[in-house]
Amino acid sequence: MNYTRYNFIIALLIGLFCLASCGSDSSSENSIASTENTGELSSSEAFLSSSSIISDNPQEISSSSEDTEKTLEELLGPCEDLGMYETRQWTDGKGKFYTCYRGEWTEGVLAVEGPEWGNLSMGEESSSSSALVESSSSDESVETSSSETPVESSSSKSLNGVVWYVVGDSFSAGDFEGLNPKPTIQEGPYAGKPPVYSYLIGNRTGCDVRNISAGGTTICYYDTYGFTKPENGIMYRTDFSDADIITIYYGINDSHNRISIGNIDDMDPTTFYGAFNVALDYLTKNYPKAKIGIIISNGCDTEDYPEATEQVAIKWGLPYLDLDGGVNGITMLRSSSRNPTPDEEKKEILKQQWVHEHNWHPNEYAHELESHFIEEWLLTLL
């Protein structure tokens, strides 16, 4: 009887051992199957992985993948609920933006030379993108699908504390003549300043704005003033030694005064090409640590000035933001065949964005609109 009981106990233990072993094998098989099923990433997940914006929560990645499969209407909301020229951005990591114009979403790409744009977040950012960026920034050990170090995207950079010198004319300094009272920023570190793009960006980001722009100025040495006037022009009177970024935004007054364009190799500050070459030669030699970017003006009277600005930026290998032709149908344009938007639509945009019919300078709305393009571009300079 005792022997029989002993055999029963042995058999019971063997059975329990087999059961545990089978369960372990099954669990292992399920784990392998799970790994195999997740081995194939969707294109959006692969992009997230390569951009190092990876969350430890797979639901967030899945959510982002679902978002990318939605239509523009589903992602950005009904276009008819927006103002005629209001824009919103859905981040896709390739510099694309989407514009709501007359009831339809249209897609465009900002024209810019230089560093990759990375993830943009103009206007309202998608919630899934925000969650992923927030999650990745809080996790010190972010994984990537590649052994190579990923290129840092603009969304992971910050303008906070960056010293930015703003060089330009009244389109940068601001001209709200004819308005009484003249508008000012109401709160934040730049309260009391005119609501121009630089101070709006400074309020949002915490960058240190040094706006040395002045109305009526040219980049060339013209008459008694100009950025590159020999010896005592604005450029020579300014100490840029603490600059992280210097942006140059000229062309309006050069075109008004019919300054000679010159040729691409000029070093004569009395020509448009020559003044740019003199300025860039001086700045790059004396302030090599500063990141220099060029903004192509959308306020010139004729197309040869913005075209020359683009060519000189390419010559010097500098990044540029094309407000004249690169942001199709969005910013105010005085005259430009470089921009394919129909003339009647250009006139409507101009009317909406000028101060008033006798003052064609950008109004508050225009500066706010441009500030988002310029802010995202500044991040690429860092």
Predicted pLDDT at 337 = 85
**What does each of the 382 residues of the chain score in pLDDT, given as a tens digit?**
454 555 555 555 565 555 555 444 444 444 333 333 433 333 223 322 222 222 233 222 233 444 445 676 777 677 654 443 344 444 444 444 555 544 666 554 333 333 332 333 333 333 222 222 222 233 333 333 333 334 445 567 999 999 999 999 999 999 999 999 999 999 999 999 999 999 999 999 999 999 999 999 999 998 777 999 998 899 999 999 999 999 999 999 999 999 999 999 999 999 999 999 999 999 999 999 999 999 999 999 999 999 999 999 999 999 999 999 888 778 998 878 888 889 899 999 999 999 999 999 999 999 999 999 999 999 999 9
Query: Which domains does the chain carry?
Result: 43-138 (no CATH), 157-381 (3.40.50.1110)
Predicted pLDDT at 336 = 82
**pTM listed for this prediction:** 0.65
What Cα–Cα distance (Å) separates residue 316 from each residue in 114, 242, 312, 354?
Answer: 11, 22, 6, 33
Nearest Cα residue to 327 out of 169, 135, 109, 155: 109
Task: Round to whole Å and give the CA distance between 376 and 121.
Answer: 7
Is the bond preceding 150 in cis, omega lying within 30 degrees of 0? no
Polymer length in residues for the chain: 382
Task: Round to whole Å and give the CA distance between 316 and 274.
Answer: 13
Predicted pLDDT at 294 = 98
Provide the H-helix boundaries in 72-196: 72-76, 127-138, 170-173
Predicted pLDDT at 148 = 36
